[in-house]
Structure 1
């Protein structure tokens, strides 16, 4: 039995899960294809429209069309629509595809606070600068409702973590004191929309960031796979509150072809873990046992504690070697 055999669709994050920047992560494309499951791609990155995302996926070898993509820009448009009537002015801070989406929804896209926009829609774009953020701040100060596509503070790329939309939003919030409504993950709407599009009864959400991908899946009541190819690593998993805890933990998307029971937090690899005061002691370990086996062993204990462990103390050479790889 493999993990993918338990489900009828994959709801996949992109940045840090399927790709990093313009490159597919090692084995990700092969894992998706080999699963044989319908794949829906759910991204908080609002800098590309669904068609552009699908084009990029096809270049990487995945059979994807615009209908297989759900972006936070789309979700933000729906959220903003609750405050708007057709023809209302909307100041869009974001990519051209975001502006096009707002225009196609029947609203009037404006560039300045002088046009008295009813809503400021803020999505990620590498071209956003001081002038655009300042117009947003002026519009919000003038009474516009502030809606963000997502609040991810960082954006994973092949070069490392770049500034994300949440960091740009933080500048506007600092200037205005207004925290925006957020349309993207960790809100459950995108997951529920994607599952409906796939006609899925047993979807599996897959992502790399605990406070968005996994928290959104938990909020939507869906099982999730956390992959260690992006933002949230072992230490974040140890400190994760219940609302951010995945069902399964894998090193990469290759986990889709692995035994689901081994992907759950549990004693494995010959390791054992026990609580000692505020710490966890990790002992034993078979020769060749891996870092992620040690992590799952510790998580089984840590997630039953009232608060995260102060320390994880290795008590064998194998355990010490495994935990050194968490940093």
Structure 2
């Protein structure tokens, strides 16, 4: 049996919800990455930690990772800023100390106030960001500073659930200024292209758990994508996904890297059949032992092929009903 990893020469892996959750390795993730034998690049929208810190955390959960294997959205945002700056130019960074140090190391002057006339405002996630920091950013932008964001994720998965993400903080500044920043992170393609270049990859696979960032970014970059059901986006999100957020493959977790790519593709399988009836997919049939994954791939393929707005799945057999118990 062919394995998915045999079709690719590198993995571009999301972190939160894909490799770890709350700092703990997601079951089977470490073993699957190591067993793949592929160069792994960890591509994260989280701009609150340095690449070195991320690599250390990856080593803590058992992965052989170095700083060179990590690309953060802060690094990508700095790449966007470089075309607008000259050495020594003032930059207002709304973000973590590691983001500020990254900017200093690149040869720019990090300032704290709009009164220092920053040429660029860089906005990344930081747990300590409050009214003062957002207001200084707003003032600087109103005075002509270019506004760039590391990412626009509205939520951030943490131990207790989905917390306020960088995109929600950016929204406050946009509301005050009327300026929407250019974003360096996912779902834009820049990080994926940069990560593939760093890995020296010609046929990378983008892997993630969130359709509107990880998968949309891979699609935008023209890369095959694997969506895993270990994080934010579940079966219902897949069912309703617009074309630019539809993954090439769907798997339960990172063990899917060792699965037959034909089985991972959205298509009728497990003895299930599906048809669209109004705003619903009617799922019927099903072999004994067929479960949620086979139901998901069958249902979403019918929904996507129909071109209709589909919002729910309805079971028409006992096997389908059992498979859909964990749909959400």
TM-score by length of 2: 0.97
Matches within 5 A, 1:230-241: 230-241=231-242
* Partner residue, 2:286: 285
* Partner residue, 2:46: 45
User: 2:222 matched to 1:245?
Assistant: no
1:122/1:147 contact within 8 Å kept: yes
* Partner residue, 1:95: 96
Residues in 2 aligned to 1:295 and 1:21: alpha-carbon distance in whole angstroms: 26
SS of 2:62 mapped into structure 1: coil
1:23/1:158 contact within 8 Å kept: no
SS of 1:10 mapped into structure 2: strand
Q: Per-residue deviation at 1:321? A: 2.0
Q: Per-residue deviation at 1:278? A: 3.7
Q: Which runs of 5+ in 2 are unaligned?
A: none
Residues in 1 aligned to 2:289 and 2:56: alpha-carbon distance in whole angstroms: 41
User: In the TM superposition, what whole-angstrom CA distance separates every residue of 1:113-144 from its partner, at most 9, and x where no partner exists?
Assistant: 11111111000111111111111111111111
Matches within 5 A, 1:194-273: 194-273=195-274
Residues in 1 aligned to 2:274 and 2:166: alpha-carbon distance in whole angstroms: 39
User: 2:310 matched to 1:309?
Assistant: yes
* Partner residue, 2:107: 106
User: In the TM superposition, what whole-angstrom CA distance separates every residue of 1:53-84 from its partner, at most 9, and x where no partner exists?
Assistant: 11111111111111111111011001112221
When the two chains are superposed, the root-mean-square deviation of aligned CA atoms in Å is 1.1
User: In the TM superposition, what whole-angstrom CA distance separates every residue of 1:83-129 from its partner, at most 9, and x where no partner exists?
Assistant: 21111111000011100111111111001111111111000111111
1:238/1:308 contact within 8 Å kept: no
Q: Per-residue deviation at 1:299? A: 1.2
Matches within 5 A, 1:1-327: 1-327=2-328
TM-score by length of 1: 0.97
Moved over 6 A (4+): none
Residues in 2 aligned to 1:208 and 1:6: alpha-carbon distance in whole angstroms: 20
Residues in 2 aligned to 1:151 and 1:307: alpha-carbon distance in whole angstroms: 29
SS of 1:304 mapped into structure 2: helix
1:16/1:157 contact within 8 Å kept: no
